[in-house]
C-alpha cells in the first residue's frame, strides 16, 4: 500500500502530492505505475453508468542544490507532459 510508504496530501482541486523517502527513480516510477493501474481497476459508477478513472502523474526527486519548490516545479512540468501525452501515464523528470 502506497499510504504505508508515502505522505499523501491534496495539493489542489484535483491534484495530490505523494512524498516518498529513500526511493530511487526506477522504484518510484514502478510504484506510481502500479498505483495508476490499481486506480483504473476501481469500480466507479455515475448515474448508474460505469465510468473508468485514469490518473496522470508527474514525478521528480529533490536533487543537489535544489529546494522543495524546484522539485515541485519539475514534478508539475512532468504532470503536464503526462497530460499532453494522452493522460493515464507516469512521467519522471
Enumerate the active-site residues: 14
Contacting residues for 71 by C-beta, under 8 A, at least 6 apart: 60, 61, 62, 63
Give the 3-state secondary structure of residue 9.
strand
Cα angle at 30 between 4 and 79, to 5 degrees? 95
* Residue with cell string 498505483: 35
Amino acid at each position: 500500500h502506497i499510504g504505508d510508504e508515502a505522505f499523501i496530501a491534496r495539493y489542489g482541486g484535483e491534484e495530490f502530492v505523494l512524498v516518498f523517502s529513500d526511493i530511487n527513480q526506477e522504484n518510484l516510477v514502478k510504484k506510481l505505475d502500479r498505483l495508476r493501474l490499481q486506480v483504473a481497476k476501481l469500480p466507479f459508477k455515475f448515474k448508474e453508468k460505469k465510468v473508468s478513472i485514469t490518473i496522470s502523474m508527474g514525478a521528480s526527486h529533490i536533487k543537489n542544490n535544489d529546494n522543495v519548490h524546484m522539485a515541485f516545479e519539475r514534478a508539475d512540468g512532468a504532470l503536464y507532459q503526462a497530460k499532453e501525452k494522452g493522460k493515464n501515464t507516469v512521467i519522471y523528470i
